[in-house]
Each structure stands twice: as C-alpha cells, then as structure tokens.
C-alpha cells in the first residue's frame, strides 16, 4: 500500500484502488477550490484537512484554486482571508490558482462546443427556460433556439462576450438531453452576461462561466487526479464527466470527481449566505467575531490550528450527512490548550480579602509553574501582599460541608501561597459582602518544606494581589444560537434562534502583572476559570481577553430540550443530557483495549467528554475493578485525568489505583496512567 498501513476512509480506498489499477503515483494531484465570496468556516476545515492530508500522505501536490467566476459576490478581502486561514491551519499549497486564469481557455472550448453542435445561445427569459426544463417526473421541452445554426450561435455568443447584449437577455447552454432523468443534464447554462468588474480581470469580460462548466475543466487544466467535493455535488458528477468528454485528450490525466458528506455542527450554521446575513444584520461584529464558526472567528477566540486539525481527524469523513456535536470541537481545543497554555491567575468577579496578620508594607513573590503538563515550560513569579482579590463566588458566610471554598471559621489554600482562614466579613448598607478579613498561617507557604506547608486542606483558591493587579476586560461567550439546529425549522427563520446572551462583557476583571506584556493572540489558562486568549482589540493600556472554552463542558448539563427538533437530529451523538455519563463510559470502556488509530481517538474523546460530568465519589467505587477488565480500567484512568485536571486532590486511593495500572501488560493502560502518576 502507498501510505503507512492504517484504517482507510473511503476516499483513500478509492485512491488506493486507482493506483492498483494503473494510475501512476506521480500523477496524484489534489486541490482545495473555495469561492472567494465569504470567509471559510469549520465545515471548510474538513475539506482542507482532507485534501492537504491526502497530499501529505501521498507526497503529492495540492493546489489552492479560487473559483472566482461571480464578480458580483467576490472580493479580494475574501481571497486574502482564505489564504491566511489555510496557511494558519498549517498547510502550504503547491500552486495558487484562479479559475479566472482560465477564462480564455474556457471561452475557446465553449466556441469548440458550439462548432460541434454541443452548445447554443438561448435568448428566452429565465422563467420560460425554467418551465421548459420540466420536473423530476415530467420531461423537458426543447428551446426554440436549440437547433439554430452554428453561425448564428457563434455570432450571438460573440455579442454576449462584447457586452452588446444586456444581462439576463441571453445565455449559452450545453446541448445535452432535455429528457434526462438528471435535471442537471437538461441543457444546463454554461455562460451568462454579467457586466461587473472582476477583482482580478477588471472589465475584460462581460460573460462569466457557470460553476459546472468551470469546475471540471479547471481540474483538467491543472491535471487534478481526484476532485473531491461535498455530497450535494454528487448529482453534478454526470455533467462533470460530460463536459470533460467534450475536450478530453487521452494523453492527459482525466480528473475523477468523488463526494463526501459535508460537516454539520450542532448549534451552528454552515451556510456562507446565512453567515453573511448575520454580519450584515449586525447580529455579530464581523466575520471574525469569536462567536462565529468561521476559521478567523475561532482563531480570534483562541482556538488552535492543532485542535481544529484534531477535530477533523476524529470526526472523520463519511458518505452520509450527519451532525457533529459542537462539544467535540470544544473538547479538542480544551485538550490542546491543556498541554500548551500557560497557567495564570485572574479574578473576574472580585471580592476584597484582607490578611490581617500580614504586614501592611510587606510584599513577596511566589513561584508558579507555567504549565504542569510541560516540565520544560518553566516558572514565573507572582506578587503577594496584604490585600488580595478572590472571586465573590468563592466565599460564603455559612455553607454546607460540600462547599470547599472559603467560609467563616474554615481554611483554604491560596494557590502557590499560604493557607488562610476567614474570621469575619464586612457588608454594605444593602447587606452585600464587600470584604473578608482572614488570618494566614505564615508557616504554610507552598513549597517551603515546613510541616505547615504540607498540611492538607480541601479547597484551593486563585487570587490576585490588589496592589499589583492589572485591570482587564473579559469577554465571555456562549453558543450563538439557542437551538441545536437553528436552520432546520421550515416555519421559522434561523435568526429567531440567536442567543441574546451569547456575549457577556466583564469590565472590572483583574489579572496578575505577568500578563501586562503578553502579546495579542497569546493563550492562557485562567486557573479554575477556563482558557482565555488576548483579543485583537487589546492594547497596552487596556487588556482584553476572550474566553475560548471552559475547563469543563458545562453546556451538556443545562442543554434545553428542543420541542421542534427533528427526530433525526435527536439521534445525533453525544446527547449527554439524556444519558448517565458513567454508564456511557462503562459501555465505551469495554471495547477500549481492542481499538487503535482514529477509532481509539474517537472513543477516548467521548469518554473524556463524559468524564466532565462524573464525580470522584462515583469513580472511587470502581477502583476495585478486576484486573482482567483492562478496557474499563483504562476508562477509569481517563476519568481520573479529567478530575485531576479540574482540581481533584490526588488521594491515596487514586495513587494506589495508578501504581497498580503502571504494572499492567497493556501498553495503553500504562501510557495513560503515566500521564497522572
């Protein structure tokens, strides 16, 4: 086999079969052909990763070709944005091509079709032509212009080209079969008059080729071996081949069109037309709004190229349309940022805490790991003083034993710092708590090696020193749509499902001074809060952060029931709110030990996603799982990875379970256990 042995998807299998049947490997050539009429979105990322991935697997060239045949909707801005997105995703094209480069050749071939009696100029109105085409159950009727002479067709087509005919007055049609079962074969339009300035060719042309005519012939010119399209183009394949038949030279590579299902995402729309409507209606702040599913929007929000590539790999490709739960995309970025993002402290809903036994004029610096997942990431210094901010939600005067944060008379540890105990609190006239007075165990500084520093308390809080805190604006995002399938309702416009609470701007947040010099786009984990990055609008005088994703998948727990969601949508994967997470993990765990490659990655991703809703008490009951049930033990380790990442203390029981797992013969169990040993 030509690529490293692995489980092949159906597109790869087609290529392998072609190679076995005599196609020379050096003839393999792929392309990604976007229309420059909008910004690329997460659905396009699937096609990008597929085509450039095939190029990498087979060491074959991949063209970036802009299908720029409609100057009424295309702009250079979109061309530049597309190039930036593809490059940012980590791919480099072999050739930058434009369909407009081939306008003269396409025109010459159109003349050839006219001369061969395979094309004619039709001057009827679009409504009449539509009626004559018939329906899927009735045959079409020939146009009265269908049999006009070659000379008359050439003369009319020349007038179209020269701008002597008005827009909508005439079109060039292929002469195929008005009785074909395939409606697309009923004399499709090849050219229309369009007197618009083109972003590359200016006013050189007054006629522009249609997509179906341009697509296959451009593939042929570029010697593309496999033209991979989304599923809606499957009915076009017959026409694609017919057009190639008219100009094909057997000494050249003949492109083959094959189709895969487009990627749909829950709580999202994937139509560029509808995304443009959001922009034009000011429902969002441009194509790169962090709530948009565009690649530029995801990048601005803090998504990484690696996470999008991983999402495309795990989601895979198929022959049937389906909906992927958006939580899988969030899982992928959460996992990637956990490995790469520096840990810092920020407080977004501040409450003042005074350490009453700490000297007023004293300050010191604590050492904080930049990223405990990366032993080479280093450390940075965090200033500490008598007065600090904590989150308001982290203090209660009175609370149950399950509240492991700060409450009167109880202790917590400040991250990287001291153990403190709340003694009293101050309230304003309305009874709101405005300050908490605490005492610190000044012998308990983290890492000092004292007996007090080794004391175990259940809660750990993040904080910032008031004296050193840097003001910041934090933008917290939610799903842009409140409905899981916003454009699937026949009786409602998708705009009706826009979530009015999709953006919450916090003006009075504070971050530690380490972030003062961070650059735009830099990504961080705000400890205990989630992953954030510095927005494009951030300045030295005003830091602005976007929340990329939370530390946990909280949406699944609050997902509203959709009254009008089609049954097919309700059957889509990862409907976590309807399932017991632990039971689902047990089911998945049974087959873990027997999986590999993408199937293993998908199953692990599902388990890690479900694990966000599992408690320590639930998993602790599974620590005595028999040794022979390796798959279930791997699943338990995956749950522990999530719990420990989210702040769970490593108990003796966890340590004992992991130590036993590390001695197992199963390599996957050992590998996953080593991550948390």
Tokens of 259: 């189709």
**DSSP secondary structure letter of residue 136:** T
Measured between alpha carbons, how far is residue 589 from residues 288, 530, 609, 635, 638 in Å?
39, 28, 13, 5, 10
Q: How far apart are CA 455 and CA 459, in angstroms?
A: 12
Structure-block tokens of residue 642: 């999530």
Write the CB contacts of 436 (distance below 8 Å, at least 6 apart in sequence): 351, 352, 353, 354, 390, 395, 406, 422, 424, 425, 426
DSSP letter (8 states) at residue 452: G
Catalytic residue among 272, 300, 343, 586: 272
Rounded Cα gap, residues 367 and 465, in angstroms: 14
* Among 16, 35, 223, 313, the one annotated catalytic: 35
Active-site residue 65, yes or no? Answer: no
Phi first, then psi, for residue 331 (nearest 5°) are -60, -45
Strand pairing report for 189-193 and 207-209? antiparallel
Which residues are CB-neighbours of 263 under 8 A, at least 6 positions away? 42, 43, 45, 46, 270, 312, 315, 324
Q: Which two tokens stand for residue 10?
A: 């159906």
Instruction: Bin 253: left if φ > 0, else alpha if -120 < ψ < 50, else beta.
Output: beta
Other Cβ atoms closer than 10 A to 560? 9
559 Rama class: left (phi>0) / alpha (psi -120 to 50) / beta: beta
DSSP assigned state of 241: H
Residues 6+ apart with CB under 8 A from 240: 212, 215, 216, 227, 257
Instruction: From the candidates 262, 309, 410, 633, give the one annotated as an active-site residue.
Output: 262
Which neighbouring-strand residues pair with 4?
none
Catalytic-residue membership of 272: yes
| CA distances, 235 to each of 19, 62, 164, 181 (Å) | 25, 25, 34, 11
Strands (E), 168-235: 171-174, 189-193, 207-209, 226-230
Using an 8 Å Cβ cutoff, are 283 and 498 in contact? yes
- The DSSP call for residue 8 is P
SS3 state at 531: strand
Would you give the DSSP letter of residue 374?
Answer: -
Q: Coil, helix or strand for 390?
A: strand
**262 noted as active-site residue:** yes
35 token code pair: 């229309």
Rounded CA-CA distance 657/677 in Å is: 10
Written as six digits, the tokens of 433 are: 């708590």
Q: Give the integer Cα–Cα distance in Å for 157 and 205.
A: 13
Helix (H), strand (E) at residue 42: helix 42-58
Q: What residues are annotated to the active site? A: 35, 262, 272
């Amino acid at each position: 086999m030509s690529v490293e042995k692995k489980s092949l998807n159906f597109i790869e299998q087609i290529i392998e079969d072609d190679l076995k049947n005599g196609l020379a490997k050096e003839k393999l050539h792929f392309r990604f052909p976007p229309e420059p009429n909008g910004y690329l979105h997460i659905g396009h990322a699937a096609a990008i990763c597929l085509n450039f991935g095939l190029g990498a697997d087979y060491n074959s060239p991949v063209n970036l070709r802009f299908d720029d045949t409609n100057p009424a909707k295309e702009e250079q801005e979109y061309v530049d944005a597309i190039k930036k997105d593809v490059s940012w995703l980590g791919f480099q094209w072999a050739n930058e091509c434009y369909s407009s480069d081939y306008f003269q050749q396409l025109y010459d071939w159109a003349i050839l079709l006219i001369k061969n009696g395979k094309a004619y100029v039709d001057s009827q109105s679009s409504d009449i032509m539509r009626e004559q085409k018939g329906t899927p159950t009735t045959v079409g009727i020939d146009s009265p212009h269908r049999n006009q002479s070659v000379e008359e067709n050439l003369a009319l087509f020349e007038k179209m080209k020269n701008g002597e005919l008005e827009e909508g007055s005439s079109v060039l049609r292929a002469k195929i079969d008005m009785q074909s079962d395939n409606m697309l074969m009923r004399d499709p339009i090849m050219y229309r008059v369009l007197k618009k300035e083109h972003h590359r060719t200016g006013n050189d042309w007054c006629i522009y080729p249609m997509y179906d005519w341009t697509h296959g012939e451009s593939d042929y010119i570029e010697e593309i071996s496999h033209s991979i399209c989304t599923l809606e183009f499957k009915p076009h394949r017959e026409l694609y081949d017919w057009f190639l038949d008219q100009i094909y030279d057997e000494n050249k590579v003949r492109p083959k069109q094959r189709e895969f299902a487009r990627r749909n995402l829950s709580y999202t729309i994937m139509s560029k037309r509808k995304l443009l409507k959001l922009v034009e209606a000011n429902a969002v702040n441009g194509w790169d709004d962090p709530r948009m599913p565009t690649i530029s929007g995801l990048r601005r929000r803090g998504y990484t190229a690696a996470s999008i590539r991983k999402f495309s790999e795990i989601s895979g490709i198929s022959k049937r349309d389906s909906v992927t739960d958006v939580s899988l995309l969030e899982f992928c970025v959460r996992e990637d940022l956990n490995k790469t993002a520096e840990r810092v402290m920020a407080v977004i809903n501040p409450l003042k805490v005074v350490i009453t036994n700490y000297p007023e004029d004293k300050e010191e610096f604590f050492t904080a790991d930049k990223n405990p997942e990366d032993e080479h990431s280093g450390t940075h210094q965090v200033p500490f003083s008598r007065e600090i901010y904590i989150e308001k939600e982290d203090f209660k005067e009175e609370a149950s034993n399950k509240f492991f944060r700060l409450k009167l008379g109880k202790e917590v540890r400040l991250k990287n710092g001291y153990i403190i105990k709340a003694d009293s609190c101050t309230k304003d006239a309305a009874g709101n708590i405005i300050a908490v007075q605490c005492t610190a165990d000044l012998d308990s500084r983290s890492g000092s090696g004292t007996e007090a520093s080794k004391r175990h308390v259940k809660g750990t809080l993040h904080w910032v020193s008031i004296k050193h805190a840097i003001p910041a604006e934090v933008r917290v995002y939610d799903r842009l749509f409140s409905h899981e399938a916003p454009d699937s309702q026949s009786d409602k416009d998708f705009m009706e499902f826009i979530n009015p609470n999709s953006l919450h701007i916090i003006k009075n947040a504070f971050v530690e001074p380490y972030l003062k010099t961070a650059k735009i786009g830099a990504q961080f984990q705000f400890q205990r809060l989630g992953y954030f990055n510095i927005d494009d609008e951030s300045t030295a005088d005003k830091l602005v952060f976007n929340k990329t994703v939370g530390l946990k998948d909280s949406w699944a727990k609050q997902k509203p029931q959709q009254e009008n969601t089609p049954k097919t949508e309700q059957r889509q994967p990862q409907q976590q709110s309807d399932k017991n997470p632990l039971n689902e993990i047990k089911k998945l765990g049974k087959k873990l030990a027997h999986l590999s490659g993408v199937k293993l990655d998908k199953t692990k991703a599902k388990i890690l996603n479900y694990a966000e809703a599992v408690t320590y008490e639930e998993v602790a009951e599974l620590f005595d799982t028999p040794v022979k049930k390796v798959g279930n033990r791997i699943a338990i380790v995956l749950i522990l990875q999530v719990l420990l990442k989210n702040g769970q203390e490593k108990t003796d029981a966890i340590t004992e379970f992991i130590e036993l797992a590390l001695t197992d013969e199963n390599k996957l169990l050992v590998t996953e256990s080593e991550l948390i040993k």
